[in-house]
Structure 1
Amino acid sequence: PVGTLIIDKQTGKVMKDLTKHGESFIAAKGGKGGKGNVRFKSSVRQAPNFAEAGGAPQEREVILELKLIADIGLVGFPNVGKSTLLSVVTGARTKIDNYPFTTLTPNLGVVKYKDDSFIMADIPGLIEGAHTGSGLGLDFLKHIERTRLLIHIVDVSGSEGRDPIDDFNMINYELESYSSKLSKKPQIVAANKIDLASDEQYKRFEDYILSLGLRVFPISAPIHQGVSELIDETYKTLVSLPIEVEKYDYFDPSEMEDRDYKKIEYIKDNDVFVLSGKQLDKIFRSTNFNDMGSLRYLYKYIENSGVIDKLKDLGLKDGDTIRINDFEFEYIE
């Protein structure tokens, strides 16, 4: 889905950020095709009975990480009314109930505003310790990174037995602890469940939020009280914000290309000379050991690549054994 990061597991670097619908990316390429037997035809080899095997495909472990892309992120403790607000302003059919963690995965909805629209994401409720992974916090926090503006929803009535100001500060602490980038995102505060709060409760909370230089809107999402004013301010703020493009130090697969493809390793195992190498292995796999022409081609490659000279430097002599993969043959001068 849109918003998926493709990450190379070995380096931890991002290979691709899929931000557009229908976008594609090749994380690992198939091996290069080999040469057919016709390519080895010559005046003395009219019907070669061998061909070159194709190259080995690339192998790569990747991590697929989804970070939803939305304009607005709804954040707050569980059961403060985020899903209700999303359903009211977007018509999204979200699971709504009066208990914590009703929402376990982010929900998206489109807010239609006059002749425009924007995407709103209901981020599952955060709890104390979310930045360390408590309550699936890390899974939830990463989705906030792509948003441009946060609506911080607080149960101003304290119906769950918590202090609204403490709730507000705790969520911001979790955002900052996870990433300084999240703590710097602009916020609009929605004091929800205003119909259940006393005037004193709201005034205390409002004074505190205003002292921080933030805007606060009293709302009751179920009965739509104050919701229009909140969305008006949200749109006004959103259009004034720049559209950020995330920058990554992208991983270049060519950095991992095998520059030792033609290299041959030599090991003397008692009286056996063991050869190994990627190009050598490819040619060896192409060899038809029942065809003399194919065997000559293999020997010609070994001879032209300087293998025999190198083995002689290691003490190779007539009658010694050479091993390539699981195949052994006797060297005859």
Structure 2
Amino acid sequence: MAIPSFVDRVTLHVYGGKGGNGCASVHREKFKPLGGPDGGNGGGGGSVILRVDTNLTTLVDYYRESHRKADNGVPGRGDHANGATGADVVLPVPAGTLVTDADSGEVLADLTGEGTEIVVATGGRGGLGNAALASAARKAPGFALLGEDGETRTITLELKLVADIGLVGFPSAGKSSLIAAISRARPKIADYPFTTLVPNLGVIVAGDITYTVADVPGLIEGASEGRGLGLEFLRHIERCAALVHVIDCATFEPGRDPLTDLDVIEGELSAHGGLADRPRMVALNKIDIPDAAELADLVTADLEARGLRVFRVSTKSGAGLRELTYAMAELAKQRAAAPEPAPARPVLRPKPVGGGDFTIKRESELWRVRGEKPERWIRQTDFGNAEAVGYLADRLNRLGIETKLLELGAVPGEGVAIGGDNAVVFDFAPGIDAGAEILSRRGEDHRLEEERPAARRRRAKDEEYHRTKSEEEEVR
């Protein structure tokens, strides 16, 4: 299967990097084998970022490779060594790329200016090492927190060409020939009654004005309803400041004439919507053919009566092209001089203070706890470590989950699930400290307070020496 060279719509799967795990380590050196916790924090995972590159005109790279993942964070190490942050993945996209969440349909961003960017998949947080978890009440944690998974998202990228002037018209009306004649664009051109398969973008210099022109293919009767390829390409004219109807005055197809062609294309533009305010001009093409030149003379007055500026052109001989390019330059200049619309002001909706950290709902056989904090704490917990589980229990209790469950009527032994599909379920046991049977203080490894036999003997010997010296001084 051949891969197309122009792609304007893709589905992309993006994955933020996983955060590195924190390290549970104890400082050790000569004569001080248990010197306290020194485990470093894990590094955060990298993020996936979309950034506008105006040199690009297609999304074909993401058609070829539709899964992109950022680097994971590096785990922490002993001796207070924090792990490195995972590298971000920056994905260049053309100007005019619309970014949509494929699952919810929410528009995430409309990327237009050079360098504009958006983070589409955030990397996970790195876990804290046991050095960062130490406190006055918990001097010697024997555990660390796990790094969090990065954000996973499926997005849709949809390209809408950014051009000053859009060329519209029937297939074989000469749009591709026109853009090749007035710019350095070199589209594939042939004399066939089928549409060009890709839009073409050209840069034109007229005097001191430089502007861009897009040849928008696919417009036939019924294009706005999905006939042919028109529905795929109509969106490319949405960003154009003005439209130029390129009309074939030399067509031999029955039922075709310049006025009818104009009405058909205008009907499709109207059905697509949102283009009524764009200035229009008409280019009557192929006047190098005598019959076409005669037909152009006949319809010019009717077109001008509709309020349209009309240009008689030939892409083969070059007749009328200079006048047309300067007229398009004036429209592009008007667009550049028009004031930019005021940016939409963001609406800040702060979260409510108090009571907003979690919610609890009764389901058929258990209680369901949802909330950013408790669900994040669950992901950070190593359930193979009893101290870590005890630390989690303390955090949940301080948040008020146990108290709230009792208020709602929960009884010991009922199931409590924290999270959604991948929830952690445990039996409700109010007032019981997790891990209390093995720990003197929850979340503290009291082994760090113990001394090895050699250290104990050395300390006893020092104490005996100082006691003897004190007794000798008293005798003197």
Secondary structure of residue in 2 paired with 1:112: strand
**Alignment correspondent of 2:429:** 331
What residue identity is the alignment partner of 1:77? F
The Cα shift of 1:312 comes to: 4.1
Q: Is the 8 A contact 1:53 1:282 kept in 2?
A: no
Give the whole-Å Cα distance in 1 for the aligned partners of 2:400 and 2:220. 67
Q: Which of 303, 307, 316 in structure 1 is aligned with 2:411? A: 316
Give the whole-Å Cα distance in 2 for the aligned partners of 1:177 and 1:210. 24
**Alignment correspondent of 2:20:** none
Give the whole-Å Cα distance in 1 for the aligned partners of 2:416 and 2:338. 62
What residue identity is the alignment partner of 1:331? A
What residue identity is the alignment partner of 2:360? E
Alignment of 1:113-152 (within 5 A): 113-152=206-245
**Alignment correspondent of 1:221:** 315
What residue identity is the alignment partner of 1:51? A
Cα RMSD over matched residues?
A: 3.3
Secondary structure of residue in 2 paired with 1:160: coil
Q: Is the 8 A contact 1:192 1:218 kept in 2?
A: yes
Identity value in percent: 36
Secondary structure of residue in 1 paired with 2:170: coil
What residue identity is the alignment partner of 2:358? K
Give the whole-Å Cα distance in 2 for the aligned partners of 1:70 and 1:205. 29
CA deviation string 1:90-134 (max 9, x = no partner): 121100001133411110011122343211111114111122222
What residue identity is the alignment partner of 2:258? P
Give the whole-Å Cα distance in 1 for the aligned partners of 2:324 and 2:430. 89
Give the whole-Å Cα distance in 1 for the aligned partners of 2:363 and 2:182. 75
Q: Is the 8 A contact 1:264 1:277 kept in 2?
A: yes
The Cα shift of 1:275 comes to: 5.1
CA deviation string 1:264-312 (max 9, x = no partner): 5354766xx5553343343334344454433332332343333334444
Point out the more displaced range, 56-65 or 201-210.
Answer: 56-65
Q: Is the 8 A contact 1:50 1:286 kept in 2?
A: no
Q: Is the 8 A contact 2:124 2:148 kept in 1?
A: yes
The Cα shift of 1:77 comes to: 0.5
Give the whole-Å Cα distance in 2 for the aligned partners of 1:255 and 1:57. 25
Secondary structure of residue in 1 paired with 2:177: helix
Give the whole-Å Cα distance in 2 for the aligned partners of 1:116 and 1:11. 42
The structure with the largest helix share of the pair is 1
Q: Which of 350, 367, 387 in structure 2 is aligned with 1:293? A: 387
C-alpha distance 165-44 of structure 1, shift in aligned 2 (>3 A): closer
Q: Which of 265, 269, 276 in structure 1 is aligned with 2:360? A: 265
Task: Report which of the two structures shows the higher radius of gyration computed on alpha carbons.
Answer: 2
Of structures 1 and 2, the one with the larger relative CO (CA 8 A, separation 6+) is 1
Secondary structure of residue in 1 paired with 2:156: strand
C-alpha distance 204-250 of structure 1, shift in aligned 2 (>3 A): farther
What residue identity is the alignment partner of 2:400? G
Unpaired runs of 5+ residues, structure 2, are: 1-93, 418-422, 432-476
Give the whole-Å Cα distance in 2 for the aligned partners of 1:129 and 1:88. 29
Point out the more displaced range, 1-10 or 123-132.
Answer: 1-10
